[in-house]
Structure 1
Amino acid sequence: MELLEPLRERPTTSDALLSTGRTLSLLVLLVLLAWGTGQPFLFPSLGPSAYALAVTPSAATSRWQRAVGGHLFGVLAGLLAYHTIAPGLSVTDIPPALSMPGLQLVGSGFVAVGLTTVAMLRTDLRHAPACATTLIVGLGLLTSLWEAGIIMFAICVLAVADHLIPTTGVDEPPQ
């Protein structure tokens, strides 16, 4: 098993720059919304989603339905796990080792990833970055219904941008 792709199968510098530009273009409106409103329209799992949509647009897991559906499951599972298991806790205030609050917090994240995974697999709405979204919610970072709405709005903006901004062809094998 090779660690790296052979040079002939790697994107050219031009293709890499085009894909980088597309990745950033998918995020630019969300960057402006986050900056202009002070709301979390830009969060960690959007980066991997934008990258997947930009670099592997023809991959099954890069379809807009899977991106939106996967993140929806991530948000719902995260909210359910967090509000059931670890309400009021947050990974930003790390509890002491072997404490009950620590167990609740990591348990919430664990259950959220499990619920998200089974939901994505059973519905064929698989999108790996959604497991990061479920941890963002399940670990107490964005846990209100307002924040859940912002997450889903941001994912939808990303999906619309993906539809409007032309692909670069990077995921196509060289001829």
Structure 2
Amino acid sequence: MPDRHTLREWLRQAGRAGALLAGLGGVVWASGLPFVFPSLGPTAYLFATDPDGPESAPRRVVGGHALGVAAGLVAYHLVAGDVTLTAATGPGTLASLRLAVSGVVAVGLTTVGMLATDTGHAPACATTLIVSLGILSSPLEGAIIVLAVVALLVEHELLLRLP
């Protein structure tokens, strides 16, 4: 059992991670747009548990996710086209192969892009998969992803100013 100080810190970090996503959850509820998606969870976790760490730096967070979106869009539209992970593609089909290749290409492009620009942010590789597998693969959805990341960053910066 952790000591009281450790438990208090864990609860504070858990509350911060949840609070970071709560605002965007409200945007989803009010607009019906996908302002919450799986890779925001790891980003919120990093903000809550390691706010001064290198992967929490604003340039890395926004740059990494933006590269992930761009690489995902390129890979998806060049390789997978109209196929989506949510559709039943079946084993051994051309559609499932196209999705697999799209995901592999997107992660490779994202990794190279983050290394070349020093914007390494591991959750961005989840973002690129979300896009390249056809889950949020339109340019509008890509813009929403980047906007949501910026909003999460702004919330993080505001929370850091609280005592």
- Paired position in structure 1 for 2:17: 23
Shift of residue 100, structure 1, vs aligned partner? 1.1
- Of 41, 48, 52, which aligns to 1:47? 41
User: Does 2:93 match 1:64?
Assistant: no
Same amino acid, percent of matched pairs: 47
| Count, aligned residues | 160
Equivalent pair of 1:54/1:167 in contact (CA under 8 Å): no
Shift of residue 98, structure 1, vs aligned partner? 1.5
The gaps in structure 1 that reach 5 residues or longer are 1-6, 169-175
CA RMSD for the aligned pairs? Answer: 1.5
Q: How does 1:1-175 map to 2 (within 5 A)?
A: 12-166=6-160
Aligned mates of 1:94, 1:107 — CA distance in 2:
17
The gaps in structure 2 that reach 5 residues or longer are none
Aligned mates of 1:69, 1:155 — CA distance in 2:
10
Q: TM-score, normalised by structure 1?
A: 0.88
Equivalent pair of 1:22/1:167 in contact (CA under 8 Å): no
Aligned mates of 1:108, 1:128 — CA distance in 2:
18
SS in structure 1 of the partner of residue 160 of structure 2: coil
Comparing both chains, which one has the higher relative contact order based on Cα–Cα distances under 8 Å and sequence gaps of 6 or more?
A: 1
Aligned mates of 1:29, 1:96 — CA distance in 2:
38
Residue by residue, what CA displacement relative to the aligned partner does 1:62-83 show, whole Å, maximum 9, x if unpaired? 1111010000000000000000
The one-letter code matched in structure 2 to 1:88 is: D
SS in structure 2 of the partner of residue 88 of structure 1: coil
Aligned mates of 2:23, 2:59 — CA distance in 1:
20
Structure 1 residue ranges (4+ consecutive) displaced by more than 6 angstroms after TM superposition: none
Shift of residue 154, structure 1, vs aligned partner? 0.2
The one-letter code matched in structure 2 to 1:129 is: P
Q: TM-score, normalised by structure 2?
A: 0.94
Aligned mates of 2:81, 2:161 — CA distance in 1:
42
